[in-house]
Amino acid sequence: MTVLSPPRPAAIARALRDARTWCAGHTIDDRPALVHALRVAVTIGQHVPAPAQDVIIAALLHDAPEFAPTERDVYQTLTAGYGTEVTRIIAALQVEHRALDEPDPPIRVDDQPVLLASTADKIVALTSLLRRAQSTGNAPDFFDRRPVLCGLLPHFRAFQRAAHPRLPASMSAHLDAALTPLERATAAAQRVGAR
């Protein structure tokens, strides 16, 4: 059983419907965007007993600013439908996502709801990345073609270390377990490229 298993609270059921609508036709990590959203929400529930409903809703809708229709301000729509806390968490995740395009992105671990959603998002994305690399049969080539991503791995490791004391131990360990094989694989790719 997961945090999304029926019977669901009405707000989570509504968020799931909105996520289905807004994610339709979009992909993340070569899979339907809805799969990513569901996995982020479920990952939180795997590590946090009785997580706050707002965190689960924010996890389901965290990519809404990128996918929702633009006729109306997405943050107004989120606030009207789910309240200010859900909107605040999603806005903070969007700031974090955009910062990854900047040199030396900041690491924030002081906001527990954002930290839980952000960590789950990283676990799901990094696990998917490793799976995709392994499925190619040529992981070194896969990572060689993604230098920006490889350059972010030290940031994700620094995030994991900074977040460790504030996360459930199992969640920190899960992020570590996602990062470690990626670090090994990218180091192997760099050795192959140096030859």
Least confident of 15-19, 70-74, 103-107, 112-116: 70-74
The phi, psi pair for 73, rounded to 5°, reads -60, 120
Picking from 133, 137, 147, 130, the residue whose alpha carbon sits closest to that of residue 193 is 147
How do residues 98-117 score in pLDDT, each as one tens digit?
Answer: 999 998 899 999 999 999 99
Return all residues near 86 (Cβ < 8 A) that are at least 6 apart.
54, 57, 58, 61, 78, 79
User: Sorting pLDDT into bands at 50, 70 and 90, what band is 148?
Assistant: confident
pLDDT of residue 187: 78
Picking from 163, 161, 178, the residue whose alpha carbon sits closest to that of residue 117 is 163
The amino acid at 110: D
Picking from 153, 56, 159, 58, the residue whose alpha carbon sits closest to that of residue 109 is 159
The percentage of residues in the chain with a pLDDT greater than 70, rounded to a whole number, is: 95
pLDDT at 168 over 90: yes
Mean pLDDT of the chain: 92
List beta partners, residue 27. Answer: 32
Cβ-based neighbour number of residue 75 at 10 Å: 17
Cis, peptide link before residue 7, omega less than 30° from 0: yes
pLDDT of residue 52: 97
User: Sorting pLDDT into bands at 50, 70 and 90, what band is 27?
Assistant: very high
pLDDT of residue 99: 95
The amino acid at 60: L
pLDDT at 194 over 80: no
pLDDT of residue 156: 96
pLDDT at 43 over 70: yes
pLDDT at 61 over 90: yes
Give Cα separations from 132 to 28, 34, 40, 75, 135 (angstroms).
12, 17, 17, 32, 5
